[in-house]
Amino acid sequence: MTKTIIRTLILLGGISIGLASCQKGSLLNNPNAASSSTTVPVSLIFNRVANEIYYGGDVMDAVGITTNSSSGAAQNEGPWSNVHRWNQFYVSMYSYYWGYNSYNWSNSATMYSVLKYLELMEGQMKTQFGSLPNPYTGLDKFFRAYLFIWYTQRVGDIPMDEAGSTTNLTPTYNTQHDVYQHCLALLDTANTDLGAIVAAQGNNTVSGDIYGLTVAQWQKVVNTYKLRVLISLSRRAVDNADLNIPTQFANIINNPTQYPLMSSIADNLQFTYNAVTNKYPLAPSYTQYDFYSAMSKTYLDITTANEDPRTFIAATPAPAQIAAGKKVSDFTAYVGADIDTVLPNLYTNSQSGLYSYPNYLRYFKDPSGATQEPAIIIGYPEMCFNIAEAANRGWISSSLASTWYTNGILGSLAMYKLVDGTVIPIGDDYGNSLGSVTASVSTFLSNPNVVYAGNNATGLTQILQQKYVAFWQNSGWEAYYQWRRTGVPAFHSGGPGIETNGNQIPLRWQYPNDEAQENTTNWQSAITSQFSGTDNIFATMWLTK
């Protein structure tokens, strides 16, 4: 994949030269074509980079990019994508419209396309700003860390130090340990750079930012993301003293002036929808196909057991339960489908009214984005749960666990504007009104399943379950990565609907085909050192051992 990107840059350069040499006679230079000497506003390149992290992966270069694809290569990571089916938030019941539930994926995408744009952005920064401080310097480091971590957590060791070179077409691989070490250092420097900009120039909005954040908010994003990265390394916190994982986490929490963090959902890095340029992914094309998807048992089993009002936000009651006389406010009327089950059986069960559907009134009806929540990429609720988990594990003061656990729940509820007395309209799979429910947040918070059990294994499970619920239709692959790291929640697997060897969920992706074909020696060395020579999707990598 790295070689493909480098080749593309070379070809683009060749095309520019060739076109320049053909401008004879009546032919005129195209005034709209940029050359290597053209000044392109850094804000425009930054805009493209910021957009790339919402979608995730080299979408233009990889196979399996459509909504219904069963490939794990590259996906839109936004709401209702394949990613969130693999996160076990919803289940397809009819392959033609919603794809397969299979985890039988193979080759990964990369995010090296983002690296290409960052290299261009860095060149333009030197031209336009010289040595003058600017916010893009810190953001460049953040995005570099983001793209390398995005890729390494999918496959293992990756090219990093030599990636993006226009002269070295066979970059060597860095170990996953070293990738994380380098990326943590990049994030620390990004925080310093952005803090210096705020101190020297004030807290201004970053030009070209599709997310509309100020420099200070971007600094919070960087540090919040670093907490995500550190907690993702929990399996390696003891046997990798050189990474100082608990210490780095504690240093951020204990030094809020140096490392500011998000203080509410207003600081979320999130993608907001509108009716003109950024329509919600399900509107209007999927409107009539709502009843070919079902809510997942993994998600609803947690929310219904806890009497969680987010149940009514996400789902409709199962038709058979309403026909049997249950009220729309009865949590037992909301029933999820098991992703283990084969599609024909899921479809038959659905026709019998056994499953809840996704909430038509909220997610399908309005293309303007007025009824749907934004898609979080890095958010405040997750940050709260990460801090609570660190406290539960003893990385920081254990007294912080309960407070941050509760903050995370309240932050997630705030995303849906849920407070005591909120009236939630309930509809069927076509949006026909079935009545309404009045939310009781206080009843939910006092549920014995929800009240924090303390800094023990039960308390940790509570934190992880609530973080999973907060990931509903956002944050890309984070729900899957959490399951892979901790086993919480208990993803359903083992049944024929998974469609892999042993019907088990994969633990990684294979490297892109380009690596095997065009960087063969280094690719072979990487899979030999990590996986005994087999690029196996069920193998454990350094991160997950």
Q: pLDDT by residue (tens digit) across 43-59?
A: 999 999 999 898 876 54
Interaxial angle between packed helices 215-232 and 245-254, expressed in degrees from 0 to 180 and rounded to the nearest 10: 150
Q: pLDDT by residue (tens digit) across 331-357?
A: 999 999 999 999 999 999 999 999 999
Q: pLDDT by residue (tens digit) across 466-511?
A: 999 999 999 999 999 999 999 999 999 999 999 999 999 999 999 9
The total number of structural domains that make up the chain: 1
Whether residue 369 has pLDDT greater than 50:
yes
Question: How far apart are the C-alpha atoms of 264 and 383, rounded to whole Å?
Answer: 10
Alpha carbon distance, N-terminus to C-terminus of the chain: 26
Give how far Cα 63 sits from Cα of 67, 70, 74, 108, 530, Å: 12, 10, 7, 9, 25
Whether residue 518 has pLDDT greater than 80:
yes
State residue 339's pLDDT score: 98
> 258: which residues sit within 8 A by CB, 6+ positions away?
191, 195
* Structure token digits, residue 183: 């990326």
Interaxial angle between packed helices 457-470 and 478-486, expressed in degrees from 0 to 180 and rounded to the nearest 10: 160
Nearest to 317 by CA among 352, 356, 351, 290: 356
- Decide if 243 is inside a domain: yes
Q: pLDDT by residue (tens digit) across 212-244?
A: 999 999 999 999 999 999 999 999 999 999 999
Percent of the chain scored above 70 by pLDDT?
A: 90
* Structure token digits, residue 283: 């509107």
- Decide if 525 is inside a domain: yes
**3-state class of 437 per DSSP?**
strand
In one-letter notation, the amino acid at residue 141 is K
Query: Quick one: pLDDT band at residue 368, thresholds 50, 70, 90?
Result: confident
Whether residue 444 has pLDDT greater than 70:
yes
DSSP for residue 25: T
The mean pLDDT value for 360-370 works out to 89
State residue 70's pLDDT score: 39
| Largest CA-CA distance found in the chain, in angstroms, rounded | 82
Query: Quick one: pLDDT band at residue 372, thresholds 50, 70, 90?
Result: very high
Question: How far apart are the C-alpha atoms of 194 and 212, rounded to whole Å?
Answer: 16
> 33: which residues sit within 8 A by CB, 6+ positions away?
16, 19
State residue 367's pLDDT score: 81
CATH code, domain carrying 115 = 1.25.40.390
Whether residue 22 has pLDDT greater than 50:
no
Whether residue 286 has pLDDT greater than 50:
yes
Nearest to 338 by CA among 349, 329, 330: 349
DSSP for residue 502: G
Identify the residue with better confidence: 168 or 66.
168
Q: Any idea which of 169-178, 190-199, 285-294, 382-391 has the lowest mean pLDDT? A: 285-294
The mean pLDDT value for 517-544 works out to 97
Exposure string of 460-476, with b = 16+ CB inside 10 Å and e = fewer, is bbbbbbbbbbbbbbbbb
Q: Any idea which of 87-91, 254-258, 363-367 has the lowest mean pLDDT? A: 363-367
* Structure token digits, residue 278: 């950024």
- Decide if 236 is inside a domain: yes
Nearest to 357 by CA among 335, 341, 340: 335
State residue 88's pLDDT score: 98
State residue 291's pLDDT score: 87
Q: Are 55 and 77 in contact (CB under 8 A)?
A: yes
Q: pLDDT by residue (tens digit) across 98-128?
A: 999 999 999 999 999 899 999 999 999 999 9
Question: How far apart are the C-alpha atoms of 227 and 90, rounded to whole Å?
Answer: 28
State residue 57's pLDDT score: 65
State residue 29's pLDDT score: 58
Whether residue 65 has pLDDT greater than 90:
no
- Decide if 276 is inside a domain: no
Q: What is the 3-state secondary structure (H, E, C) of 199-260?
A: HHHCCCECCCCCCCCEHHHHHHHHHHHHHHHHHHCHHHCCCCHHHCHHHHHHHHHHCCCCCC
- Decide if 14 is inside a domain: no
- Decide if 226 is inside a domain: yes
State residue 511's pLDDT score: 97
Its domain, for residue 545, covers: 1-8+38-61+109-260+510-545
Query: Sign (positive/negative) of CA torsion 484, 74, 149, 279?
Result: negative
Nearest to 149 by CA among 228, 87, 71: 228
State residue 7's pLDDT score: 40
Question: How far apart are the C-alpha atoms of 426 and 359, rounded to whole Å?
Answer: 8
Continuous segment of H or E residues that includes residue 438? strand 433-438
* Structure token digits, residue 404: 């941050």
Average pLDDT over all residues of the chain: 90
**3-state class of 295 per DSSP?**
strand
Nearest to 341 by CA among 359, 331, 354: 354
Question: How far apart are the C-alpha atoms of 1 and 5, rounded to whole Å?
Answer: 6
Whether residue 157 has pLDDT greater than 90:
yes
Whether residue 460 has pLDDT greater than 80:
yes
- Decide if 92 is inside a domain: no
* Strand ranges in 90-243 using DSSP code E only, listed in sequence order: 90-92
Task: Give the count of beta carbons closer than 10 Å to the beta carbon of residue 60.
Answer: 10
Query: Quick one: pLDDT band at residue 275, thresholds 50, 70, 90?
Result: confident
- Decide if 200 is inside a domain: yes
Query: Quick one: pLDDT band at residue 37, thresholds 50, 70, 90?
Result: confident
Task: Give the count of beta carbons closer than 10 Å to the beta carbon of residue 46.
Answer: 25
Task: Give the count of beta carbons closer than 10 Å to the beta carbon of residue 210.
Answer: 16
